[in-house]
Structure formats: C-alpha cells, structure tokens
Structure 1
Amino acid sequence: MTAPFTMPRSRLLVFRESDGVRVHTSEYERSLDQCRVLDRLEVVDGAGHVLPVADVQPHRIRFAGVTLTFDGLRALSIGGDASARVRLVFPDGSTVEQPVGSGLRIDVADRGALVSAQPAAAHEDALAVLEREWDAWFDRCPRVREDLQDMAAFCWWVLGANIVELPALEGARAIVPSKIGYVGLWQWDAYFIAVGLRHGDPELAREQLELAFRFPRENGQLPDVVHEQGVLATSDDLPESDRATLRRARSQVADPTAPVPLTKPPLAAWALRKVLEAEDAPEWAAAQLERVIRSQDWWFAGPERNGSDLDGDGLPEYGHPYSSGLDDSPVFDGPIPTTAPDLAAYLVQQDREIAALAARFLPGHDVAPHLARAERTAALLMERLWDPAERRFIARGPGSGDDATGHDGERIASDTVVGLMPLRVEGLPQDARTALIEAIDDPRRYALEWGLPTVSAADPDFSSERMWRGPIWINTSALIAEGLETAGEPERARALREQTVHLVIHGGGPHEYFNPRTGFKAEHATTAFAWSAALFIDLAVELSR
C-alpha cells in the first residue's frame, strides 16, 4: 500500500485495491490514471467470496491459495487453487471472470491486457525465477547496524524496484526517482542514488552517473533529465503539464520569451568522488571527469555562450527554479534569475573536487585554475551574499539593490535551507560558521522535533506540507550533515544523521518528503522515493562504522 508490487526493469505496477489489486504501467510524463491496465483484479473462491490479499513478498502476492507473480517484464502469472476464479475489471468497465485452472497469464501491451491459460509448471517457474532475481539483489544489500537493517533492506528493495530499462539507450538501466510519476533519470537524483547504490552495486552506481553525463550540450551544460524520448535541457523541452504548474504558481518562467537552460545543481564531482571511493575505475573516471569539467565551465560562462553567469559578475545564477532542484522554494517567488548561496557553495566545492580528481585521473591537467576560481567564488559568496547584520546568507534577484550593503541585485529575504549550504565550504569564516550552526540549533528556526526543515519555521512562508517550503527532505539533511562535518562539528553531524534515519523509520519508509511537525509523509509526497532510499542507506552505512 505504501509502495507498488513490481520488479527490476519492468514498467508494470500492482497496487492494493480493497481486497484485490489494480494494475498500471509506468511511463514518462503520464499519470497513473492515464496508464490503467486493470482497475481491479480479484480472486474469488468456490462460494463466490473475494479472497483478500494474505501477504506480499518481493516475488509474489498471495491470496489464500492463489499467488500472483511476474512472468517477464510485461506479463503477470497467476496460479494455485484450480477451483478459484479470477475476476478482471478493465478500464472500459468490462469484466472477465476465468477459473484459475492450471494457471493464467496476463500479457500487457499498449496499456491493454490479454488473458490466456498456461500450464501449472509455467507459474511455478515464474515464481522461482523472480525469487532468484530478488534474492540476488538482496545479497548486495549493505549490512548495517541492527536497528537500521530492516529499513536498509526496504530501501534497497526500493532501489531495485525503481530500475527501468531505456530501450532507446541500448537497454540502459536507470534507477528513476519513482515509478509513480517520475519515470526518467533526473541529474540530481542520479547523484544521490549513485551515492547510496555504491555500497552494494558500484557498477550500477557508475551507470547512473554515466547516463547523467552522457548528453552534454555543445557548451558543456548537462541536461536536467534523460528519459526514453530524449533529454530535457531547456524550457522548450518542458511538457505542457509543467508549464501549466508554473502558470498556476504565477512563475515568471512559465512561458519565457527565449529558451532557458534547465539543469541541476553542480554536485557531479562530489558524486563521482564518492562512487570511486567504493570501486576504482580510472579510465571510466577520466572520461566522466572531462564532462564534469566542461559542465563546471558552463556554469561560469556568460550569456554569449548561453551559460549561467548571466550578468558576468563571477557569481552564476539559477536561470530557472527547476535548475536549483528546489523548484517551489520561496527563494524563487521573487524575480529570476536568482543568485543563491547554495549554488555558490556547490561551485566552490566542485572546483576543489575537480582539482583533486584531476590530479589523480587526468595527468597533465592544470588544476591551478580550478583552485583559483574556487577562491574567487568563495570570496564573492561572502562579499555579496553574506548579511553581517542578520548573520545569514541571503539570495538576490536581478536589478540594483538599495539595502545597506549596496550590492547589486534585489534582496530575497526568505530564510531557507539554501542559506545553510555554505556550511559545506571549506575555510568559511568563523563568524559565518558559528551563525549557521546557531541557526541549525535554533528550535524557532531549524531545530524542529523531526529534523531540518527546508524553510525556517520562523519564516512567514513556512509550511509543514508544501513541497520545498518547509517539509524535510533527506538530501538537504544529508548535505547539511556533511557541512557540519566540514565545519568541524562531527558530533552535530552525527546527531543530524541519526535524526534523519530515525525520521525515515518513524515515517514508514523513504518518502519524497516529510512533515517536520509529525515526522510522517507529507500528503502529496511520493512514496518509495529512490534518492531518499539511497541516502538512508548511505547514512546507515556511515552510522554503522
């Protein structure tokens, strides 16, 4: 009920529906309602009573004496009590009822279903094949602390369940954020997923990064999404549903007059380093690093190269809320493009990560320009985005500022998690470090019972339920924990990690985001969310050392 019954690489999803189940396919930018295969599948005994779902394992669903499993990627198999009947209700309202007999097979094609009889041995074979596949997957599940192991196993299941094949890319395996509504490889998600996946399947972790890096634009920009129909790299590629959402939010970039690049924050080198910590792959690393370097240069390129330093002041901007990863943050309620402290912090650390990786994997590559640019960016971060009076980092929009600092750009007052990300910058001045730690410790702002909200509880835009406007996300909590480590606060870092893993356990699984007041899934959050699962595993491994 909190996650679909599915299998690695399949696009079929089976959900509990009263005493039966319903079946959908999983497709890019199509809702579950648009992808209905069966509105109801019920098992009925000889007396006409509907048999409820008795229990579920990764390889099968059991209705008393009848079981349902997968038979390949696009078919379901039913077998068991020959006297039972299976009742199928199709989306057009038609109903079919057939005896289980020796067994039934339901083939799915083009969101339709064809039911046929099959030998009893075929069903037993299908059960055994899927059980072996899941057993092999679980054999790779990292072993962690006893109190974290059950949830780690569930999170490892989520990662396997969210594998899809992308046929247009020679059958590449992408772990999608969720087969419920997020069927594609989002760049940021791929980084977080790879970081958790590396602990049990380094090869598949590398495959996620390779897909994220495979389709750079000519200027080096990495696309936001790689999906089965192509890539999403500019606002021209957005589906109409996204444009409609932006219009409802009155976003200034709902219908831009010129295409706006779409990407995700620069954590590519960070993810690359972490994946290589699990298993060295020098030739592969060198090829990927070349693309990461070009992407980093794109961030600092001016508008003449369609880059992201849109005003040429040395501090790149987010040209679109989607490129921040925090689409609905109140930081983007104001004018866009936005100069944000999290982006500056990511860029500082990415140049430093690139320098360290290049020294190892790209002999002869001059690392001095990366280190020099990191120092310049760090200085600009403090000079332009640090507010010494309020002792916090703030974002700025375009235009001329008129506040006491005299800096260009309209001041964006929202107190959000983007202002805490500079904690990840090595060498941040002591006063700034102290102020950010105090904010994290302040129960009026960020020290809420269940964890670190994405907007300060004292901010007028705080909401416990609205995406990126207050709920806890596992990725921002994990990044801030790293920032506390960087700031010389290992005990605080560990405490935040412990709080985060216990939130997932309390909340019932790796949901997309959590209500910070209750610790449960926010109403509109997706369940079985891959980056939450991956980062739970990464945090659990770290806490088990």
Structure 2
Amino acid sequence: MTSLLDRADRAGRPAYADISVPALRRGAARVLTGNWTGASTVPSRTLYPHQWSWDSAFVAIGLRHLSAHRAQRELESLFAAQWADGRIPHIVFNPAVPEDAYFPSPDFWRSSRAGRAAGAPAAPETSGIVQPPVHALAAWLVHRADPDLSRRHRFLDRAYPRLTAWHDYLLTRRDLGGGGLAAVVHPWEPGTDNSPCWDRALARVDPAPPDTFRRADLDHGHPRDRPTDLDYGRYVRLAADYREAGYDDRAARPAFAVEDPCFNALLAVGEHALAATARALGRDDAPHTARADALTRHLVDRLWDAEAGLFRVRDLRTDDLVEERAVTGLVPLLLPHVPPGVVQALRGTLAGPGFAAPGTRLVPSYDLTGPAFDPQRYWRGPAWFNTAWLIHRGLRTHGLDADAARLRQGFLAEAGRSGFAEYVDPVTGEARGARHFSWTAALTLDLLRSR
C-alpha cells in the first residue's frame, strides 16, 4: 500500500499518496458534483441510486466547504421526507429511477400506504426504517460554515423542530429496552449492515424464501464483497414484518432489537449540537444538555465492557452483551463527557492488535483477530472512511491530537489513492466497494480543512 508521502508537489504543497492537496480537493469536488441529482446527492451512481439518510448528513458536512447553500439543500431535501411521528427514513426514493434499479424498492416498502398510520408522507416514497442520527451535528456544522447565509435562509429555524422531533421519536418510541437508549430493529438501521455483531440476533430470524426477491446489489457489487443470500433473506423478512405491522413501533414485535453504541453515541452528540442550536436561536438549551448527559451515562452503564476495552452491542431479546468487537464500540470516543478511564481504554484498543490494521491507517470495521473477520465482506472487516472520520473527531475531542493527525493523514492518503472508494481491505489496503463514493469525498473535503 502507498502510505502518506512526506514530500511536496512542484508548488511546494503537501501531497497525499502522490496527489497534491489542490488535486485532492478538486477530485473530491468532482465526485460530489457527479453524484448530485439537483436536489440531493446519491452515495454512488451505480450501487446506491437514491438518497440515503446518514450519507446525506455526511455529504452536507463536506459540502459546506464548497457551498453552504447546497449543504442546506442536501439536508432539507431529506427533512422533506420526514414522517409525522418524527422518524427520518433511511432511503428517500427518486421517482425518476427505475423500480428494479435497487431492492428493496418503493413497491416493497409501500411507505405511503403501509406507513400511513405512522405518518409517512404521501410523497415521496421512502423506506420505513431509519439510520444513525448524524443530522443534528451536520445541521449545526452547516450553519457554522456561513452563519449569515443560514440566518437569511432561516435554516436553523426550520431545521430545529424537525431535528427535535427526530430525536424525540428515537428516545421515546425506540427505547425498547427501557434503559434510556434507542434500539434499532433492523441491521440496516445502525448503518453497519452485516456486522458480525448482528449474527446471533439474526440467527433467530426465518429468512424470506430466495424466490420472493431479486438482489439488485449484485448487479454492481461482487458477491464476495456483499452480504450472503441467507443474510439478505433475513433482512427482507425483518423489513416485511415491520411493514406488515404498519411500521408501528408499539404494535411491532421485532425479532431483531439491539442497542448499538455508535447509533446512541451519535444521538448524544446530536443532542449537544441541538443545545448549541437552541442557544443560537435564543432558546433554552438545558433539555438537550440533560439528554446528552443521560445518554452518555446510559451508554457507559449498559454497553461499556472494561475488560474488552470498548462498548458492545446489547441484544434486547436476551438482555446481554454481544461478544463481537466492532468499530461501533469505538465511536463513543466522540462524547465529551465519557470518563477519562474509558477514553484511555478506547485509545489502547485502537492501537492494539484488533484494530491496528497492517494495510491502512483507517480502522477496521471488525476485530482483526475475531472469529468472523473477513477483510473483504461488507462491514465484516473492511475499513470505512466515515467511521474513521468519527473516530478522528473523537480523538480531537479528547485532545489526542497526535493520534488524530496520524488518522487524518492516513485517511487523506487512502482517499486519494483509492479513487474515493467506499471502503478498503484492512490487510492489503486494496480499494473495495463502489468508487467515487460521496461520503468519502465529502469527508475528505472536511479533513482537508482541519488539522
């Protein structure tokens, strides 16, 4: 693997993997321009032809360095599909894209009909599940990029009630364990789709018969990289059962229900962002600060494993912690008020044999020494750029600037060398998944502006 080169281009500017900073910035901007639909940004033109929820949040974070106005539009196009119960769906479907371009398609989710009682909009069609709540953080960062523009457009005034409704939904209807954390009811909701952390819970799910659906993802992704047919059948079964329950979290009895540390850490970070937003709008920030503090306490009480040196997933059907060690257990480093001992333990885990990858400075999605490690298969080992960005932000939050700088350098080198890949093999450093991936490009722009 080509690592960061400590040399400069002809103009004396630093270079990352033979790509100068200006060229890296131009390349990232081209990716976002190429994936822009006129209202939002698709993750990639091939594998993901619609708008994805947490992708758009990450995209807005990077877009703010190119155009704060377009970053606002990115988030507002997503908010326009919000359900009346507060949920922000994980996919907003583009009606101009053929039905068979992606599965599960709009005619599977049937949001406007099956989700009517839960408050799904009549249009656009969406999925019925959610993704991690990065949106409040993204909205606050977009505002800060150009506060005057934000105030003229009343961006925060319009975003704030939508974001508070979104968090209210997660903290009430999704507190399925009664412990003050939000639960996820489908492996696609935490964003780490087929992590080994879900294997035990998924084993309880009877898969949908393979002749009842057609996987469009294999048209653009190699089967070796993608989830297995058995896992996909279980995903389809869970989504279909949730749909048949009208996407009603009170009526549904999910076979899969877990508390994920990354999802809840982002919810707590979002509450900190909403506290800042409330102050900017002249409102009381105390409710958001209290929520952020409570979420942090609950995360430590319910999910922290001192022996493992990271946060674990809690399976709500058995009410115990899942043994697998994944990158999601490191993301709570983002939280400013986790105990110092937890911060140091997480730092040690990052540097240890489970997560110090030989082929990249990015962080593997799963423990390199774990029994289910696979360097190629989606979220079962490959190292992702968005989780590296989150951990970089966490390192900086706790003053671990040298560690953050090394991760930043590795991120920029990998992004340039890989053609802004979706993820990389942590052993060889080989680019995997889609190329010209939007959040990789967007977060590259953000890290180019940070130190």
Q: TM class by shorter-chain length?
A: 0.7 to 0.9
Corresponding residue to 2:193 among 305, 317, 327: 327
Q: Which residue does the alignment assign to 1:514? A: 424
Kindly provide the CA deviation profile for residues 410-465 of structure 1, in whole angstroms up to 9, marking residues without a partner as x. 32111100100110111211111111000111144334331211111111111110
Amino acid paired to 2:143: L
Higher relative contact order (CA 8 A, sep 6+): 2
Matches within 5 A, 1:167-182: 173-182=39-48
Q: Letter of the aligned partner of 1:503 in structure 2?
A: E
**3-state DSSP of counterpart to 2:184:** coil
Q: CA deviation at 1:145?
A: 5.0
Counterpart for residue 372 of structure 1: 290
1:485 aligns to 2:396 (yes or no): yes
The equivalent position to 1:442 in structure 2, one of 341, 346, 352, is 352
Distance 2:328 2:79 in 1: 25
Q: What is the match of residue 534 of structure 1?
A: 442
For the structure 1 residues 230 and 399, does the alpha-carbon distance in structure 2 shift closer, same or farther, using more than 3 Å as the test? farther
Residue 148 of structure 1 deviates from its aligned partner by 2.3
Residue equivalent to 1:246? none
Structure 2 counterpart of 1:354, from 252, 269, 274: 274
Deviation at 1:392, TM superposition (A): 2.2
State the match for 1:299 in structure 2: 170
Distance 2:33 2:59 in 1: 11
**Alpha-carbon shift at residue 390 of structure 1 (Å):** 2.7
Aligned to 2:160: 289
Q: Return the offset for 1:520.
A: 1.9
| 8 Å Cα contact 1:261-1:319 kept in structure 2 | no
Q: Deviations over 1:114-148 (max 9, x none)?
A: xxxxxxxxxxxxxxxxxxxxxxxxxxxxxx85532
Larger Rg, first or second structure (1 or 2): 1
Aligned residues: CA RMSD: 2.3
**Which AA in structure 2 matches 1:157?**
R
* SS of equivalent to 1:205: helix
Q: Does the 8 A contact of 1:178 with 1:529 survive in 2?
A: yes
Equivalent position of 2:336 in the other structure: 426
1:295 CA drift (Å): 0.2
Asked if 1:183 is matched to 2:49, the reply is yes
Give me the whole-angstrom Cα distance separating, in 2, the residues matched to 1:387 and 1:479: 20
8 Å Cα contact 1:145/1:540 also seen in 2: no
Residues 285 and 185 of structure 1: CA distance in aligned 2, closer, same or farther (over 3 Å): same
> Does the 8 Å CA contact 1:211/1:226 hold for their aligned counterparts?
no
Q: Check the 8 A contact 1:341/1:421 in 2, yes or no.
A: yes
**For residue 286 of structure 1, what is the amino acid of its counterpart?**
D
Runs of 4+ in 1 over 6 A off after TM superposition: 240-243
From the two aligned structures, give the one with the greater strand fraction.
Answer: 1
CA gap 1:542/1:215 in 2 versus in 1, 3 angstroms: same
**1:445 and 1:456 in contact (8 A); partners too:** yes
Q: 1:393 aligns with which of 306, 311, 316?
A: 311
Unaligned runs of 5+ in 2: 1-12, 98-102, 110-126, 202-255
Q: SS of 1:533's equivalent?
A: helix
Q: Is the 8 A contact 1:397 1:411 kept in 2?
A: yes
Residue 445 and residue 272 in structure 1: after superposition, are their counterparts in 2 closer, same or farther (change >3 A)? Answer: same
2-structure distance, mates of 1:500, 1:208 = 24
Aligned to 2:386: 475
What is residue 417 of structure 1 aligned with on the other side? 327
Q: AA paired with 1:526?
A: A
In structure 1, what is the equivalent of residue 208 of structure 2? Answer: none
Shift of 1:388: 2.5
Q: Match of 2:434, as an amino acid?
A: T
Name the structure 1 match of 2:133: 266
1:10 aligned residue: none
1:153 is matched with which residue: 2, 10, 26? 26
Shift of 1:320: 1.0
Q: Does 1:465 align with 2:376?
A: yes
Q: Which amino acid aligns with 2:376?
A: E
* Equivalent position SS for 2:415: helix
1:321 counterpart SS class: coil
Tell me if 1:381 matches 2:254.
no
SS, match of residue 538 in structure 1: helix
Q: 2:265 aligns with which of 321, 341, 345?
A: 345
Shift of 1:515: 0.9
Q: Which deviates further from its counterpart, 343-352 or 432-441? A: 343-352
| 1:153-177 Cα distance to aligned partner (Å, 9 max, x none) | 1121111111124xxxxxxx22111
User: Contact 1:164/1:174 (CA < 8 Å) preserved in 2?
Assistant: yes
- 1:504 paired with 2:415, answer yes
State the one-letter code of the partner of 2:181.
Answer: L
Paired-residue identity, %: 30
Q: Which residue of 1 aligns with 2:37?
A: 164
The 2-side partners of 1:541 and 1:390 are apart by 34
**Which is helix-richer, 1 or 2?**
2
d(CA) in 2 for partners of 1:488, 1:242: 47
Cα pair 1:506 1:520 within 8 Å, conserved: no
What SS does the corresponding residue of 2:40 show, helix, strand or coil?
strand
Q: Which amino acid is 1:459 matched to?
A: G
Residues 51 and 94 of structure 2 are in contact (CA less than 8 Å); yes or no, is this contact kept in structure 1?
no
Q: Is the CA contact (8 Å cut-off) linking 1:441 and 1:447 kept in structure 2?
A: no
Contact 2:366 2:373 in 1 (8 A): yes
